Amino acid sequence: MKRVIKSVPQLDGLEPYDPKYLPAKALISANESPYDISEDIRAEIAQAIAQVPFNRYPDPLANELRDMIAQANGLSRDQVLLGNGGDELLYDLALAYGCKGRKMINVVPAFSVYALNARLTDTEVVEIPRKADMSIDEEAVLARVAQGDISYVVITSPNNPTGGAASHQFIERLLNATDALVMVDEAYGEFAEQSCLDLLKDHENLLILHTFSKAFSLAGVRLGYYLGSEAVIREFIKFRQPYSVDSVSQAIGKVVYSHRAEFMETARELAAAAKQLAAALKEMPQVEEVYHTDSNFVLFKVPRAGLVWQMLYDQGVLVRDFSRGAGTTDCLRVTAGSPEENQLFLSALENALRAR
């Protein structure tokens, strides 16, 4: 039998992605919504899917959904691009603006996907660490882009896994300081109720990412979108897989987006629940640090976090363990769940900390 040729060097030593989902009573590890789509909306979705011609290719650009999103944001159709989840659009960012010899700025700790995509496209990652309270070192980012050799910058607002939003004023200063593409990942923007959308009209180099996976309860469906300048969106259309957003996802997205006011209300409740979790964590003497959150999750620091994670899991509570990550030593991240899940988490954590 012939051996197969080696894959590209970027894959050397890389492990396949594994989110490590485990069954549990309280699944509060992946920043998903605890609430599935309601029966009423499900019935509407079923009707919409019944009309989908399965034998035909989808509309490549999902123009009907694209128009709905454009209109809701006061933009033109050409400023919106749908993708197979935000993750696909992040991949396209690295392909369209990164390559060997180019550099991107990653403000760490950050969502792991950015650095992975940069690596796959041979783009050099310039890391700018956050301050001790996990806020952005704004002056360091501005000083680095001033060197003039950066192709794209990723700012996540609110940031995952740390939870806090970036300041609007900082993003405006950054856009004025560089011609690099500034991608503001607002995957959790609905929880923060703040956005840099208004900056689009004066800044061709701004690109904003949103997803249906968090506030819109659709992590299982795979829909995300960019809002940007026509010039930048056009470049992405050259690079993207033309049929990545299938007809069924488009049909579901249209129904869910037409109900967005209801989802925004739930997002407000989940953001409030995350703040309550943060307040309760601050009351626990063994918890060393609780980072500010503008999102639906909280990052906190507790000694021997790996052991605490296991003790929580033994009680049916799955949170995300960041304790071995760079910049997040001894940190766990908990997603705001239903009131019952949040209560279960807090009592399980109290048990775990008392038992030690």
Give the whole-angstrom CA distance, residue 347 versus residue 99: 48
CA distance 217 to 256: 9
Closest CB 271 distance from ligand PLP, rounded Å: 15
Min dist. Cβ of residue 304 to ligand PLP (A): 26
Taking the complex as a whole, how short is the minimal distance between the CB of residue 146 and ligand PLP, in angstroms? Answer: 26
Q: 168-177 vs 138-145: helix axis angle to the nearest 10?
A: 10
Name the minimum Å distance from CB 13 to ligand PLP: 24
Q: Where do contacts with ligand PLP occur on this chain (CB under 6 A)?
A: 31, 85-87, 111, 156, 160, 185, 187, 211, 213-214, 219, 224
In whole angstroms, give the CA distance from residue 222 to residue 250: 10
CA 4 to chain centroid, in Å, comes to 36
Q: Give 58 or 352: the residue with its C-beta nearer to ligand PLP.
A: 58
Q: Cα-Cα-Cα-Cα dihedral of 311, 314, 315, 321, to 10°?
A: 60
In the complex with ligand PLP, which residue's Cβ is closer, 316 or 325? 325
Residues 6+ positions from 206 with CB-CB distance below 8 Å? 171, 175, 182, 184, 196, 199, 200, 228, 229
Cα distance between residue 9 and residue 120, in whole Å: 9
Write down the least CB distance from residue 314 to ligand PLP, Å.
27
Question: Given the complex with ligand PLP, which of 103 and 333 has the nearer CB atom?
Answer: 333
Nearer to ligand PLP by C-beta: 158 or 352?
158
Nearest to 259 by CA among 33, 61, 36, 40: 40
C-beta closer to ligand PLP: residue 216 or 300: 216
Cβ at position 178, least distance to ligand PLP in Å: 21
Structure tokens at 182: 């500034």
Q: How far is CA 345 from CA 63, 238, 352, in A?
A: 42, 46, 10
Helix, strand or coil for residue 164? Answer: coil
For the CB of residue 32, give the shortest distance to ligand PLP in the complex, in Å: 9
Eight-class DSSP state of 177: H
Let me know the angle formed at the C-alpha of 190 by 187 and 194, rounded to the nearest 5 degrees. Answer: 100
Complex with ligand PLP: residue 150 or 187, whichever CB lies closer: 187
Residues forming a β-bridge with 103: 124
> Could you tell me the smallest distance in angstroms from the CB atom of residue 254 to ligand PLP?
17
For residue 87, give the 3-state DSSP assignment. Answer: helix
Considering beta carbons, is residue 35 or 202 the nearer one to ligand PLP? 35
Q: What is the CB-side half-sphere exposure of residue 156 using CA atoms within 13 A?
A: 26
